[in-house]
Amino acid sequence: MTTAKRLGLTTIALVLMGASAAYYATTMAMKGHGVLSSSLNYLVLALIAALTILMLLVFWRSMHRAMAEVSRQIGDMARTGEVGMVMVRGNNELNEVTVPLNKLLTNTQEELDTLRSEKRELQIQSRIASAEKHHTEAIIFSISDAVIVTNRFDELVLANEAAEELLGFKLNTSLRKNIDRIFSDGSLVRLIRETRNHSRSSRRKIVEHSIDKNGDSKTFTVTLSCVTASNDEVSGVVAVLHDITREKEIARTKTDFVSNVSHELKTPLASIKAYIEMLIDGEAEDEQTKRDFYEIISGETDRLHRLIENILNISRIESGVVKVVREPVSLTSVVKRVLNVAAPQAKLKDLELEERLAPVFYQVEADQDMIYQAAMNLVSNAIKYTPNGGKIIVEVSVDEKRGVAVCSVADSGAGIPEADLPHIFEKFYRVNANKKLAKGTGLGLTLVKHIVESVHNGELSVTSEEGQGSTFSFELPVLS
């Protein structure tokens, strides 16, 4: 219904109401003079009233429909989230409501658009941040050093597996917890705190730190760096723990090696120098004394030569530059040569040297000279550390089932105390209890172990009982 129609209807309704009021007044006056009957009056009045009510009803219905249309459009906007204009066709009475409402809706729409574009921007930034976070985590997780990241409240925000393993915690249950509740290592916690507190003086520092793990003390370099936010404020600390235990050990071994070598070289040199000086000073009066001096000098020179040879061989094998000539070798033949050379020394000490050698035709693939050197070192040691009158059994056997040739040297000598056994293959290690029995450098067994295990992939073993004797044996695969 158009506004004109509605206005027309309203006017007619008002005219009818006025006419009925005038009619009522006139009929009342005429009735007073007996011109009109009262029943006709009432009929006319009822008609006018009915007409008025009908027109008001039509008006009310039209308004109701317009309101329903407005409500539907607002409902649609609420449901779809799409804000538009409220349009009511031909109902200007509602303009008072719809015009400010549409203004409000236009403003809301603009604000919505701004919010939506800001939301999109934030979503993009959040995706970039999350991708960067994953990237950083992947880098940190791939590092073999232990990495810990804390925030400005000293809470754990990130750590890798190496850190979990080293410091004994689980990242998922420790996140956002204060580090003093996670790490039992108080000095590490202090280091992280100090770095954050004194960030002004230095943003990065490296300290050496020891951690006890399963009874083992390990040494680490801890690199502590401050993480700064865009406003240059410290937002946390990154601690990287690098295990330097092995490096320190190597450095110590090198230093020990150099000082041991120097010491071992000095001893025979000092002795050679002393005897030469005595000869120069004419202190050897007779020929026999002179010969004794020459023999001592010659013996010490041999010792020096052996020492240097051993050092060179060990370092060649360790650095992998040794030239190995592998060929089919009869272990029995090699050991026989060793025994021929060693027999006179054994005789000097009145030692019984028993041979139990497998047939010559069993062969191993080996470097003859090296295997000779290994067997010779074992037999010489047996002679050196067995008191006069003792017994040495040298055996070469073949275990066909296992496909190995075994060379063993058993003596009835001094034996090796249990506490020393794990160390006798270390460079320069000498058993204190046996030092007085013979001179030595502590390099012979190191070389045997290198020759058997590193060069020939064989196995060297020892059993010993203090005061009863020792058995050293090595085995190599036989050629089939």
Beta bridge partners of 158: 149
Cα distances (angstroms) measured from residue 141 to each of 136, 145, 189: 9, 9, 21
Side chain identity at 50, as an amino acid letter?
A
449 makes contact with ligand ADP (CB under 6 A): no
Residue 335 has φ and ψ, to the nearest 5°, of -65, -35
The 408-427 contact track toward ligand ADP, x by CB under 6 A, reads ---x-xxxx-------x---
Q: Torsion-angle region of residue 176: left (phi > 0), alpha (psi -120 to 50) or beta?
A: left
Closer to ligand ADP by Cβ: residue 148 or 424 = 424
Contact 447, 455 (CB under 8 A): no
Closer to ligand ADP by Cβ: residue 145 or 264 = 264
Please select the residue that binds ligand ADP; options are 236, 268, 390, 442, rule is CB under 6 A: 442
Residue 73 CA to residue 85 CA, distance in Å, equals 8
Q: Which tokens hold the place of 174? A: 């420790």
313 makes contact with ligand ADP (CB under 6 A): no
260 makes contact with ligand ADP (CB under 6 A): no
- Taking Cα atoms as reference points, which of 136, 146, 208, 207 lies closest to residue 171? 146
Closer to ligand ADP by Cβ: residue 30 or 308 = 308
Q: Which tokens hold the place of 334? A: 């090699």
Query: Taking contact as CB under 6 A, which single stretch among the options 121-129, 274-282, 335-343, 435-443 is the one that binds ligand ADP?
Result: 435-443
Cα–chain center distance at 180: 21
Using CB under 6 A, count the residues that bind ligand ADP: 22
Beta bridge partners of 146: 241
Q: How are beta strands 156-159 and 146-151 bridged, if at all?
A: antiparallel
317 makes contact with ligand ADP (CB under 6 A): no
Which position's Cβ is nearest ligand ADP? 440
Please select the residue that binds ligand ADP; options are 20, 62, 98, 381, rule is CB under 6 A: 381
Q: Nearest approach, Cβ of 313 to ligand ADP (angstroms)? A: 13
Q: Nearest approach, Cβ of 258 to ligand ADP (angstroms)? A: 18
444 makes contact with ligand ADP (CB under 6 A): yes
Closer to ligand ADP by Cβ: residue 150 or 434 = 434
371 makes contact with ligand ADP (CB under 6 A): no
Q: Which tokens hold the place of 427? A: 């460079």
Q: Nearest approach, Cβ of 239 to ligand ADP (angstroms)? A: 44
Q: Which tokens hold the place of 56? A: 């008001």
- Binders of ligand ADP in range 382-401 (CB under 6 A): 382, 385
473 makes contact with ligand ADP (CB under 6 A): no
What is the 3 state secondary structure string of 235-296?
EEEEEEEEECHHHHHHHHHHHHHHHHHHHHHHHHHHHHHHHHHHHHCCCCCCHHHHHHHHHH
Cα–chain center distance at 215: 21
Residue 468 CA to residue 386 CA, distance in Å, equals 10
268 makes contact with ligand ADP (CB under 6 A): no
Closer to ligand ADP by Cβ: residue 163 or 460 = 460
456 makes contact with ligand ADP (CB under 6 A): no
Please select the residue that binds ligand ADP; options are 6, 196, 303, 430, rule is CB under 6 A: 430
Look up tokens 């075994």; give the residue.
406
- Binders of ligand ADP in range 177-206 (CB under 6 A): none
Q: Nearest approach, Cβ of 454 to ligand ADP (angstroms)? A: 16
346 makes contact with ligand ADP (CB under 6 A): no
441 makes contact with ligand ADP (CB under 6 A): yes
Q: Nearest approach, Cβ of 323 to ligand ADP (angstroms)? A: 23
Residue 105 CA to residue 82 CA, distance in Å, equals 10
DSSP at 349: T
351 makes contact with ligand ADP (CB under 6 A): no
Contact residues for ligand ADP (CB under 6 A)? 377, 381-382, 385, 411, 413-416, 424, 429-431, 434, 440-446, 470
